[in-house]
Amino acid sequence: MTTTTSRHPLAGTPAPKDLLCDVPALLAAFHDRRPDPGAPAERVAFGTSGHRGSPLKGSFQQDHVLAVAQAIAEHRDAAGLDGPLFLGRDTHALSAPAADLVAEVLAANGVTVVVQSGGQPAPTPVVSWRILVENEGTDAASDGVVVTPSHNPPEDGGLKYNPPEGGPADSATTSAIERRANEILEDGLRDVRRASLDHARREGLLREEDWRLDYVRDLDAVLDMEAIARARLRLGADPLGGAALGMWDLVNEVWGTSIETTCRAVDPTFSFLRVDHDGRLRMDCSSAAAMAGLVELAERFDLAFGNDPDADRHGIVVPGIGLLAPNLVLAASIDYLLSTRRGWSPEAGVGKTVVSSALIDRVVEHAGRSLVEVPVGFKFLAPGLLDGDLCFGGEESAGASFLRLDGTTWTTDKDGIVVNLLAAECLATTGEDLGRRVAGLEERFGRSFYRRVDLPAEPSLRRRIASLEPSSLGISSLAGDPIESAITRAPGNGASIGGIKVSTRSGWFAARPSGTEDIVKIYAESMLGEDHLERILEQAREVLR
């Protein structure tokens, strides 16, 4: 869960009217404002998962979308990809118009674009699943785009490219697309081709499929759906106004489960949300403040869960406990999966980001599996899930996916839907919810005290932290313990972590600058207690000044 050292007085309360975005003004800025390619903040910039921004800041305009779509079309041509492209989106106000622009450009470039039937949104994991199904046993010529800024505020927009491997594109691919898109912007969009949606439909270049239903029908390949249905669990789900809305009805229809969607509101202002920890509206299913509405209903259910707008993140709510921290969900899910998935190769490892909890390390070691640590970003976990080297991949920000029951690939992007349903499977088959499973893990391996703090940082400080070397820290101990390691590259793949991580036997901190905001993210964990965690954070702040 993303946390800071202070909590806004409105956190967890219904959104006041003065916090809601002006959607007509937002759309006008999106269509009418021209970005300045000479201003760094107004250029196309792919972060860990796509380009994100806001029209109100000049960072997500119509021109950005057109340029990125044209760059993707040219990338496909150069890569020899001639299969259909699967275009999904979430429910942010900008997502539908941006998705239409992507379809116009791709169709004009001769790309067959497939969208969810009925003009409905399609979650990120469904797009990843559909790409992999299309490419199975072929030359892998299909790919996808998802138009979403993830859990970002209502005034933001975003889009990401998923190559034929199904997951987020690697850094080389996104760098090439970013570079070409900025060239197109600088040249006044002269190379952008566009065709009307009507023309695209007439030419067979834009068609619809009901991927969501097909995905739901396939869920028994990755989960014990019959066990969930037999247990007749009282399950609650809050899609937070996102693309998971309607998915739970389909699960009930196909599998006979009893999942109650607690909020069916869809509103581009997201006026039904609870205020997040910092006083902003954010559809973060890993935030107790944003999920306060579902947490208040927890005692009505045996288990409840939520998703962010593109449903690639999970949020698990347990009665008597509340929202489980994402790291604890990962640890308990891994523990359950490694004890039940007989079809998985014993050689397959478990992947996590370097800023995820050390509790995961202990669970994986106890199970006799190898641990693979990668930088922040699910794109670093996707290759292992594709080739089976990883049976599970998870990141600290409530994203994960895992293999099918037979050990083959399910998705290579984060799948909040199956992680939520896995929590239901665990309860159905063992009688134990993830909260109780976490308590058992902490009894065996120790309790985790984890926090992320965002500190304001000017560009010069962000650059300095991004280039830190262990030798420049000038410390030999952390919160009283000898430093055992200080790394700038991930042990699992040798890639730069974009910052530094310092570890002792009982705790660690990591620091990395944001790629899109003037902040530095400090992650820290103690296996001793809150006081020890505070000492780690205090020393981390001193070192980073």
512-524 pLDDT, tens digit per residue, is 998 667 789 999 9
- Residue 178's H or E segment, with its range, is helix 171-186
Q: What is the pLDDT confidence band of residue 7, given thresholds at 50, 70 and 90?
A: confident
**Residue 354 phi, psi (nearest 5):** -65, -15
- CA separation (Å) from 406 to 138, 202, 227, 345, 391? 20, 41, 17, 9, 11
pLDDT score at 4 = 43
**Active-site residues: which are they?**
150
For residues 413 and 312, is the Cβ–Cβ distance under 8 A? Answer: yes
**HEC assignment per residue over 516-536:** CCCEEEEEEEECCCHHHHHHH
For residue 515, what pLDDT is reported?
A: 67
Q: What is the pLDDT of residues 366-402, one digit of tens each?
A: 999 999 999 999 999 999 999 999 999 999 999 999 9
Average pLDDT over residues 138-142: 90
pLDDT for 545: 81
pLDDT at 3: 40
Q: Tokens 């965690």 label which residue?
A: 533
3-state SS, 112-168, equals CEEEEHHHCCCCHHHHHHHHHHHHCCCCCCCEEEEECCCCCCCCCEEEEEECCCCCC
What's the confidence (pLDDT) of residue 516?
Answer: 63
The arithmetic mean of pLDDT across residues 412-425, rounded, is 98
Amino acid making up residue 223: L
Amino acid, single-letter form, for residue 121: P
Per-residue pLDDT, 140: 80
- What's the pLDDT tens digit per position in 158-203? 999 999 999 999 999 999 999 999 999 999 999 999 999 999 999 9
**What domains can be seen in the chain, in order of their start residue?**
17-214 (3.40.120.10), 449-544 (3.30.310.50)
> If you average pLDDT over every residue of the chain, what do you get?
96
pLDDT at 2: 38
pLDDT for 19-40, tens place per residue? 999 999 999 999 999 999 999 9
